[in-house]
Amino acid sequence: MSVESSQAGPGATSASTPSRSAESRPAGRLPGLDGLRAIAILAVLAFHLDPRWVPGGFLGVDVFFVISGFLITTLLVREHERNGRVDLRGFWTRRARRLLPALLVLVPSTILLARLVETDLLVGIRRQAVGALTFTSNWLEIGAGSDYFHSTAPQLLMNLWSLAVEEQFYLVWPVVALVLLRLAPSSRARAGVAVALALGSAVLMASSYDPAMGATRVYYGTDTHLMGLMLGAALAFAWAAPHRAWTSTATWQRVRVPAVAVAGLVLVALVALLDESTPLTFRGGILAASLATTVLVLGVVERPTPLRSALDQPVLRWIGERSYGLYLWHWPVILIVEADLPWASRGADDYLWSRLWCVVVTAAIADLSYRFIETPVRSRGFRGSAAHLLHSIRYAGTRTARAVWAGVAVLAIVLTVVLVTAPTRTSVEKLLDANASAATVSAPVPTSKPNSSASPSSGSKSTPAAKPAAPIAQSWAMPTGNEIDGYGDSMMVGSVHALRYYFPGIRMDARSNRQWAEGLKVISARGNANRRAVVLALGTNAGTDLDRARQTLDALGPDRMVVLVTLHGRISRIAADNAALKELAAGRDNVAVADWDSALNGTTGQLQSDGIHPSLIGAHLYAKTIRQAFADLSTRHTGKAVTLKELPIP
């Protein structure tokens, strides 16, 4: 995500406010937009620190898109009005000065830091580095099958996808805008074209979104995520017209205050309520956030207002001016801090302190970048900055110059070695691969035909309806391992050895990314051959499918002891997923909940570097949590307390 300066160029003053107010601010600066940008980066930062805090914080990127579309198009329109032409080469050079310096420092620095802290962070780094330096990150990650919202292999440069979208916009849009400025008869027509492109992109996102396939393709795609940039461009075309986006009319003066207030409330509500698991996010939610931002931008630039004054406060202006650096650095900093500080993964107080440390480090680096990298290059240009740097090195003394160039050479060699030797799989993926065969039994043969009279729930044409299980010899005694079946996803795969240690003879059928629909299918196929005690640990990647979970329990019947394992992860939906599991268990006497999520509270070292899967120690906690749930279930029915022997971790 590129964050354009609110100093939109020489023509921005006449496009923003009367010259009277322009006298009290730097030439060309649009007051209030830095404040909007600050709010956007704070939303994104909060989302990446912990998605549970601000589920829709990723919509901050769309706020940036609208602002960038507005500012860039304003620059182009004013330059065309002033000179009768647009200097495309000069435009692209200014964008390069704005974006490249900080990026060229970020990429090698974070790669070297990650290598010192956690090599898992370097999986896929060659592709990520190429994408970052060529502004193609979004398409390369789509091609690689990456998942923005549910990644078990954290990507060090994942946040640069939006920078790629904006740079592609900067490359193509000036040519399109120039054609419109020359051929379109009026600003209304130009704005209409931009609005049509925005709506077309929104329709393409909505129609292409498939919940089963995930949201990454439509979220990363330039074609499907263009609406914010285009709505900002449409506003710029309209604002440059004599009617100033129709703000001179009596109608606008009547509705201005309520319209801006409603837009602000809508944007806040969307950021607070939408999340990546809600189809509405991609079927109109992002478009609604972009529309609300467009109204807010108009309300800010149209005239001096209390809102503009609030957004132009020094603190927000400071954050907004450094928002590009904040965005570039915040995600790598979060990953490196989490990998470097084992206590950062869990524990209420320590976790909050680790989040605060991420913010402090990010802010410090962003400020240094703004002062000593971004601003000097924007002022002097590439050649002037290079000449100044060489002059400084030359006159620092021969020894200093030699030390500097030797250091640069060493770092270049080390960086090359790190890139060449970067791992292709994380330690979590290697562990899951090693455990995969041990966690999977041969496919069961159906003992009876599916109940054809019952229809499967929507969206699962291949999943048969569950047939109620035949009664079994009911027993509520604490089950032994050879009386237990386990069905799970990668959480169970990663814990297979610990589960076998605590439950010798347990029969497991687990596979990475297994969801409730597949679990229902496998359990229904095994039918009456299911053992008297069953562990269900499904849906880490896709969440709790309540309909299929209910069908699964129906298929197992009321006579088997069943343990549902809660989900864990810093994902906004986790609380709702676990609440659904607990609600489901509450109405069934034969079902208990193994609260893995709560078991992690106050612990350290229990998770892998991805913050989701159990470590070797965590796998034992995972198994013990399941064992305790079976003991509680047995005690509930027999009235006899179950004594659990504490087993040493081998």
The strand order across the sheet containing 561-565 reads 507-510, 484-488, 533-537, 561-565, 591-594
The answer on pLDDT for 609 being more than 90 is no
Q: Is the pLDDT at 24 greater than 70, yes or no?
A: no
Among the ranges 9-18, 347-356, 585-594, which has the highest mean pLDDT value? 585-594
The whole-number pLDDT of residue 115 equals: 95
Which are the contacts of 50, defined by CB distance < 8 A and separation ≥ 6? 355, 570
pLDDT of residue 434: 78
Q: Is the pLDDT of residue 573 over 90?
A: no
- Residue 575's pLDDT band (cuts 50, 70, 90): confident
Matching residue, tokens 């047995």:
634
The pLDDT of residue 471? 59
Element (H, E) at 138: helix 137-144
Distance CA 568, CA 101 (A): 39
Q: Tell me: pLDDT of 17 over 90.
A: no
pLDDT in tens, 69-123: 999 999 999 999 999 899 999 999 999 999 999 999 999 999 999 999 989 999 9
pLDDT of residue 9: 36
CB 130 within 8 A of CB 156: no
Which residues are CB-neighbours of 174 under 8 A, at least 6 positions away?
72, 76, 86, 88, 91, 92
Please check whether residue 134 is in contact with residue 167, taking contact to mean a CB–CB distance below 8 angstroms: no
pLDDT over threshold 60, residue 456: no
226-268 pLDDT per residue, tens? 999 999 999 999 998 888 888 888 888 899 999 999 999 999 9
Q: Please provide the average confidence, as pLDDT, over all residues in the chain.
A: 87
Query: CA–CA separation, 517 vs 511, rounded Å?
Result: 13
Domain 428-638 carries which CATH code? Answer: 3.40.50.1110
pLDDT of residue 475: 86
Angle at 38 between CA 36 and CA 43, to 5 degrees: 100
Chain segment 632-648, per-residue pLDDT in tens: 999 999 999 999 999 88
When pLDDT is cut at 50, 70 and 90, the band that residue 467 belongs to is low
Region 616-622: mean pLDDT is: 93
- What is the percentage of the chain residues whose pLDDT exceeds 70? 89
469-500 pLDDT tens trace:
555 667 899 999 999 999 999 999 999 999 99
Which of 591, 581, 551 lies closest to 468 in space, CA to CA?
A: 551
Domain boundaries, the chain: 12-424, 428-638
pLDDT band at 153 (very low <50, low <70, confident <90, very high): low
Q: Which sign does the torsion angle of CA 224, 229, 233, 234 carry? A: positive
Inform me whether the pLDDT recorded for 520 exceeds 70: yes
Q: What is the pLDDT of residue 579?
A: 93
43 membership: H or E segment, kind and range: helix 33-49
Residue whose C-alpha is closest to residue 43's, from 32, 57, 55: 57
More confident site: 144 or 431: 144
- Weakest-pLDDT range from 100-104, 149-153, 597-601: 149-153
- Cα separation values, 243 from 19, 235, 238, 247, Å: 17, 12, 8, 7
| Residue 13 confidence (pLDDT) above 60 | no
What pLDDT score does 524 carry?
A: 93
Mean pLDDT of 379-400: 89
Per DSSP, 563 falls in state E
Q: Which secondary structure element, helix H or strand E, spans residue 328, and what is its range?
A: helix 323-340
pLDDT, one tens digit per residue, over 363-375 is 999 999 999 999 9
How far the first Cα of the chain sits from its last, in Å, is: 47
pLDDT top residue among 582 and 607:
582
The rounded distance, in Å, linking the Cα atoms of 217 and 417 is: 32
